[in-house]
Amino acid sequence: MSALHANTAIVELPFNRWDIPEQNPQIQHSLELGDVLYLPQLAFPLTKKEHELLTPALVSPKRKNISYQPEKQNINGVADASRTEEVQQLVDRYYRCAVSLLGSLLPGYRQALHSPTTSLRLHPIAAWRANTSWRKDDTRLHVDAFPSRPTYGERIVRVFSNINPHGEARVWRVGEDFASLSARFLPELKAYSPFSSWLQAAVGITKRKRSHYDHLMLELHDKMKGSTAYQQRGLQQSIEFPPGSTWICFSDQTPHAAMSGQFMLEQTFLLPLDAMQDPQLSPLRVLENATQQILI
Ligand SMILES: [Fe+2]
């Protein structure tokens, strides 16, 4: 495996609780550079009763995860209705912990983070990998792009906690910085068609019209996953996140691949560009600079 590009890093932070004092802006800057913030001592503890929820049978068949929209208190994907309330309490507690952590760790984003979704992932990565197409195979290095929910350049912030009760780490690969990544793939990305994007919105494939930016991000996602050479020889490093650890990244910027593991909580937020210290580091601005076009 190649050495990691100097611009990307795993930054370890020593916190062991979700309510911490407000931190200085350096941490936010590090995240904006594309670093993974790694908190090896920040566990999300489960009660004895909650440990009984850690079984793939609790996820509805055909769904990958249990998902929760905290603002609507809306939970989806619980196979056993008698456990729904218990699961909701668990994911809602995780959401509130994530809000508390990010509010102090990244105070510049506190007022701006929005559209939270929480996910409880109970399947082993190997299981859903066997039943999926290459495009949905998250064991391939990729940046996140939502096929049906265009973000128009807003950032995707994600918090992950390994809650595996058997000592099993979550193993990731992490790739190069976004500017190098996009320079590598831009010549291969298909041109944007405003008409196709309009049509996809009109027939309900997308929730609103896919912007030029969203088109390029999806193309990038697909071209990365589709390139065997990039998967094998692209700049990358492997990292293990043990149970009892938490990590954070901009998943639209930092190339990542989930290689193995089971049982995880994940919290997603969207972040408007103007909340960033340096919006020039965002995928939108990097792509606009590279293409010399306005993309939204
Ligand atoms: Fe991803």
18 found inside a domain: yes
Contacts of 51 (CB under 8 A, 6+ apart): 165
Q: Nearest CA to 65 among 141, 142, 133, 125?
A: 125
Ligand 1 center from residue 252 Cα (angstroms): 8
Query: Which element (helix H / strand E) includes 236?
Result: strand 236-241
Overall number of domains in the chain:
1
Q: Splitting the chain (296 residues) into consecutive groups of 10 residues, what average pLDDT does each group show?
A: 58 98 97 97 97 97 95 98 97 98 98 98 87 89 95 98 98 96 96 90 90 97 97 94 98 97 98 98 98 97
Query: Which element (helix H / strand E) includes 121?
Result: strand 114-121
5 found inside a domain: no
The two beta strands, 36-39 and 10-12, are parallel
Contacts of 193 (CB under 8 A, 6+ apart): 215
Ligand 1 center from residue 25 Cα (angstroms): 26
Ligand 1 center from residue 170 Cα (angstroms): 13
Ligand 1 center from residue 55 Cα (angstroms): 22
**What's the rounded Cα separation, in Å, for the pair 21 and 58?**
36
99 found inside a domain: yes
Q: What tokens does 240 get?
A: 């293990």
pLDDT given for residue 2 in this prediction: 41
Indicate the Cα dihedral angle 96, 98, 101, 107, nearest 10°. Answer: -100
Ligand 1 center from residue 136 Cα (angstroms): 9
Token pair 């909701």 is found at 88
Q: For the segment 30-45, what is each residue's pLDDT rounded down to a tens digit?
A: 999 999 999 999 999 9
Residues 34 and 88 sit within 8 Å (Cβ to Cβ): no
Ligand 1 center from residue 142 Cα (angstroms): 6
232: domain CATH number is 2.60.120
Ligand 1 center from residue 248 Cα (angstroms): 12
Ligand 1 center from residue 174 Cα (angstroms): 11
Taking the CA atoms of 53, 260, 172 and 229 in sequence, report the sign of the dihedral they define: negative
112 found inside a domain: yes
Q: What tokens does 187 get?
A: 């010549």
Ligand 1 center from residue 249 Cα (angstroms): 10
296 found inside a domain: no
Amino acid at site 71: E
Ligand 1 center from residue 183 Cα (angstroms): 20
Ligand 1 center from residue 89 Cα (angstroms): 25
1 found inside a domain: no
Ligand 1 center from residue 254 Cα (angstroms): 9
- In which domain, by residue range, is 284 found? 10-291
Query: Which element (helix H / strand E) includes 22?
Result: none
Residue 16 neighbours by CB distance under 10 Å? 13
Ligand 1 center from residue 78 Cα (angstroms): 22
Ligand 1 center from residue 138 Cα (angstroms): 6
Q: For the segment 172-217, what is each residue's pLDDT rounded down to a tens digit?
A: 999 999 999 999 999 999 999 898 989 998 899 898 999 999 999 9
**What's the rounded Cα separation, in Å, for the pair 171 and 241?**
6
42 found inside a domain: yes
pLDDT given for residue 7 in this prediction: 58
**What's the rounded Cα separation, in Å, for the pair 222 and 1?**
22
Ligand 1 center from residue 154 Cα (angstroms): 16
